[in-house]
Chains A and B, each alone.
Chain A
Amino acid sequence: MAYSDKVIDHYENPRNVGSLDKDDVEVGTGIVGAPACGDVMKLQIRVEDGVITDARFKTYGCGSAIASSSLVTEWVKGMRVDQALEINNGQIAEELSLPPVKIHCSVLAEDAIKAAIRDWQAKQAQLEAQAQGTAAAEAHSS
């Protein structure tokens, strides 16, 4: 498989490899794919005041899967959550010049960032519910 220079660059010098604390309330984690299919991506974001301040990934997969996830972590840093939700696989595939058989790698990267954002949103919703519950309880007890 002949890869573009950008895929090779991201594969050889992947950006933002690693993990964030998945239990941190500011962190959203998305894990997509399956070992049987040959690719699994874990993508994590840290969100402060609605802005993604950090992103990390780990990927089991081929070179273009690794490059797609590396690229997405680079892109989302500094984006607002609503901007990050607009990233689509076509942009990733175009940036990396992925061949047709590797388009699914870019789809997976899009799914990973969306899953990470959903996880973060779910945490925020839970926090809010808890805060309201606490407020209600406090109001009741006073």
Chain B
Amino acid sequence: MTVQTPIYLDYAATCPVDPRVVDAMLPFFTQMYGNAASRTHSFGWTAEQAVDNARAELARTLSADPKEITWTSGATESNNLAIKGVVEYVQSGAEGTRPHVITAVTEHKAILDTCKYLERHGADVTYLPVGPDGLLTAEQVAAAITPATVLVSIMFANNETGVVQPIAEIGKVCRERSVLFHTDATQAFGKVPIDVDAMFIDLLSMSAHKIYGPKGVGALYVRRRKPRVRLAPQIHGGGHERGNRSGTLNVPSIVGFGEAVRLARESMAEESARIQGLRDHLHDRIMAENEHVFVNGAYDHLLPGHLNISFAYIEGESLLMALKDIALSSGSACTSASLEPSYVLKAMGLDDELAHSSLRMTIGRFTTREEVDHVADALKRHVTRLREMSPLWEMVQDGIDLNSIQWAAH
């Protein structure tokens, strides 16, 4: 069977919008176009009702209350609001104190750069290291908590590797020590079950476009009871979203987000099993058909669709170039603007060479077995070809230890 190309295997970057989501959104552009804040006519009431329905879908998926959902423009804004919101609220109540935040070195830049900003604005931040498997422990978090700690922010699952952290255990430690717990669940939300009470989560960031919804809409879960979380708003204005986030609501996108969440929740068990089956098949073929390949991250702690593999002695960007009809991403420096290889993989102890040689393959709702087989075939062919072209591979075949060579850095 021939496969249609290009093949999309980058679902962790973004997803196509599910056609059912598009259908749900369309009437809200041209027919039900009211402002959800308009209280004086049916256009406004209809829009508000649609927004409330979507809010209820998100809340139900998290076992939360709809009043605890704040709409945002995406997970980056949610992360900014959660972290700056908590820290600045504390600072506003007690001038001169330096609140302390705990996070991890493998977090997304939306967390790390927000934390760096806070370090320049009167806060202290601890960046916890991870193990070679990409995992943190609750004990590490507990040991880092000080009397000044106000917030712990640990991602639910990593975007590059798919490694899922022990969220419930970390949450429990935070609750016991009366420290707020935020998790960036951009990759995990809608893919694995999440219960904010059972996992002791106080704030949780979400994004629509990672689960077949539209881009440009996200949400932040903000706990209202036991404990009540208070935030300093980051966008000021008309007092929408209980004052947490002003701005006219993006009704069509919110409706789409709600529908995407409903579909994800209702098909989660079945879809996870199918996607994981494809991922395992791809993994098994790559490991069986190629030598010197390594999975990055603890395989039994991964999200169902994630697979990050280093192909030793091949530079990642050249492999991407070979796989030009397949959409993938790489931890190679050559694919990043900074020319630095993946900081996530380096934090897991990978040497630069293996970080340069990594590929991230992420499988999703519309991936087929034929596509996965096509990718495995192409990988085998090009890995062989590029290794025949690789001086490092030649040295290794000749029995030379690459670490014994004095490389000239450039």
Contacts and interface: CB of A to CB of B under 8 A. Distances in A.
B388 A17 contact: yes
B249 to A, nearest CB: 38
B341 A59 contact: no
A36 B353 contact: yes
Interface in A84-114: 101, 104, 107-108, 111
Interface stretch (B100-108, B166-174, B258-266, B389-397): B389-397
Contact of B410 (A14, A19, A34, A62): A34
Chain B contact-residue range equals 20 to 34
Contacts of A111: 410
Contacts of B65: none
Contacts of B389: 14, 17, 58-59, 66
Contacts of B203: none
Contacts of B52: none
A118 B161 CA distance: 44
A104 B410 CA distance: 9
B390 A63 contact: no
B271 interface: no
Nearest to A105: B334
A86 B192 CA distance: 60
Contact of B356 (A1, A17, A38, A108): A38
B408 interface: yes
B377 to A, nearest CB: 18
B284 interface: no
B315 A11 contact: no
B352 A37 contact: yes
Contacts of A32: 408, 410
A66 B408 CA distance: 19
Chain A contact-residue range equals 20 to 34
Q: Which of A61, A66, A107 has the most CB of B within 10 A?
A: A61
A62 B318 contact: yes
Interface string A36-49: 11111110000000
B391 A59 contact: yes
A11 B407 contact: no
Contact of A63 (B317, B352, B409): B317
A1 B334 contact: yes
* In the A-B complex, the 3 residue pairs with the closest CB atoms: A34-B407, A36-B352, A42-B391
Interface of B: 313-315, 317-318, 321, 332-335, 337, 339, 341, 351-353, 356, 388-394, 402, 407-410
27 contacts: A8-B321, A11-B318, A11-B321, A14-B389, A17-B389, A32-B408, A32-B410, A33-B410, A34-B407, A34-B410, A35-B402, A37-B410, A38-B352, A38-B356, A42-B391, A58-B389, A58-B390, A58-B391, A61-B318, A62-B315, A63-B321, A66-B318, A66-B389, A101-B337, A101-B339, A108-B410, A111-B410
